[in-house]
Amino acid sequence: MRMKKFVSFLMCSVFLIAAVSCHKDDPYKLYDVKVQLVYSDADPVAGVTVNAVNTNTGMIYVGTTDAQGNATVPAVAGLYEFSATETRAESGTAYSFNGFKQQVAITHDYEKTPFVVTIDMVGSEAKQIIVKELYTGGCQKDDGSGYFQQDKYVILYNNSTVDADLKNLCFAMTIQYNSHATNADVVDGKLTYESEGKVPAGHGYWTWAEGNAPVLKPGEEVVVAINGAINHTLTYSNSVNLSNSNYYAMYDPESGYNQAAAYPTPSEAIPTSHYLKAYKYGTGTGWPISVTGPAFFIFITPDGVTPQSFFEDTSNENYYNNMNAMLRKWVPADWVVDACEVFSAGYVGKNNKRLITSVDGGSVVLTNRQGYSIYRNVNKEATEAIAENKGKLVYSYSMGTSDLEEGSTDPSGIDAEASIKAGARIIYMDTNNSTNDFHQRKEASLRSK
């Protein structure tokens, strides 16, 4: 009799406890978040992957769209950044659509009060000239005393099937310089100039010396040293050798970019016709491209505008956050040929985009000071489709990095540099979205040339 009472008492208390605990919110409960992709002048398409990145944990939740562009992404409660990207070909031109929405909060009330996350998809074309590699993070010094970052460079590549004339092509970067810095242009999770079709070129921009713009054949590249075009490996063995006679150099002390540490004279091997010309309108003696997370882009001025006339025009000027030292010029998005938005590792969730969606819809993460570079992903389908590449493509790509949580490597698995050495012609990804188009490479590609 006593035993029965005891057991029933036990069962009642268990039920009570269970009942009470049922009301506690389960942090691992998945909510089916509804997402809709909205296209302004195109039709939605099925099969587009929608990613939701949890800004606190870094975990990615995915969903796929149906023919109306609706998707369901099962995700736990948290703060998210939603993004989607897709490429389609129409009448011989490749179009990419990108969209993202930051700071979407999914709470435990989602089931009671559900809402639809709408993502505006913006379309853009794939262009001839792309940024193949951007190396700005620097490397470790040999004696262990710190890092060296005066060996930056960028490589441009002809990704198309016809010759590309680089006349009037300018190299620029945005203000805010750093992705992790507080950005006064970001209001309510969006850039204030997002819908104005322009991007800011801060401090100054570089272009080829008069009459010396190179012409790239399909598959050809041009290396431009951003700092000293010399052999840095003699002192810093982890660095790169930029003293090749084919390379170009951002060297123009007469423009005002004359800081001795940043701009030693280029190697004697490099002809002076390879020296670029700078148009400087910021204060200071060095072009301040970020070593942590730059937003780099290249643009070509249209007919009737030259880099010189663009410099003289004061109507395109604007000050970032009204600060005197942060003068920048607006470059219309139509002029932009390619871009690369780099985010800084260690600031996940705090990095801000500076390039508008139509120019670059995503971002790639860089851990600086370790000799890593930002390198383009190979477009597997397009590259394998080229008949002449048969037997020359090298797979088992091992130059990805694993310092970031999900790792960063080329999803195609193709080792582009080894394949090029074997005589293949590589077509790189160009969806105007740095998340798809770039990865963090373990070593600057020039080290193995």
**Nearest distance in Å: CB 140, another protein:** 12
**Nearest distance in Å: CB 264, another protein:** 4
Residue 118 vs 285, nearer CB to another protein: 285
Q: Map 279-322 to HEC letters.
A: EECCCCCCCCCCCCCCEEEEEECCCCCCHHHHHHCHHHEEEHHH
**Nearest distance in Å: CB 285, another protein:** 5
Q: Are 51 and 60 in contact (CB under 8 A)?
A: yes
Contact footprint for another protein (CB under 8 A): 141-146, 148, 150-151, 228, 230-232, 234-236, 239, 243, 253-256, 258, 260-261, 264-272, 277-280, 283-285, 308, 311-314, 317-319, 321-324
Residue 66 vs 317, nearer CB to another protein: 317
**Nearest distance in Å: CB 217, another protein:** 26
Beta-bridged to residue 35, according to DSSP, are 71, 117
DSSP assignments along 33-90, one per residue: EEEEEEESSS---TT-EEEEEETTT--EEEEE--TTSEEEEEE-SEEEEEEEEEEEEE
Give the 3-state secondary structure of residue 12.
helix
CA distance 417 to 421: 6
**Nearest distance in Å: CB 239, another protein:** 7
The tokens of 159 are what? 């990704």
CA distance 436 to 445: 19
Residue type, 196: E
Residue 198 vs 280, nearer CB to another protein: 280
Residue 184 vs 382, nearer CB to another protein: 184
Q: Are 125 and 88 in contact (CB under 8 A)?
A: no
Contacts of 258 (CB under 8 A, 6+ apart): 285
Give the 3-state secondary structure of residue 208.
coil
**Nearest distance in Å: CB 288, another protein:** 13
Neighbours of 129 (CB within 10 A): 22
**Nearest distance in Å: CB 166, another protein:** 19
**Nearest distance in Å: CB 333, another protein:** 20
Instruction: Give me the long-range contacts of 180-188 (CB less than 8 A, separation at least 24).
Output: 180/292, 180/293, 180/343, 180/344, 180/346, 180/347, 180/350, 180/351, 180/352, 181/352, 183/352, 183/354, 184/320, 184/321, 185/320, 185/321, 185/354, 186/352, 186/353
Residue 31 vs 287, nearer CB to another protein: 287
Residue 41 vs 254, nearer CB to another protein: 254
Residue 40 vs 145, nearer CB to another protein: 145
Residue 52 vs 139, nearer CB to another protein: 139
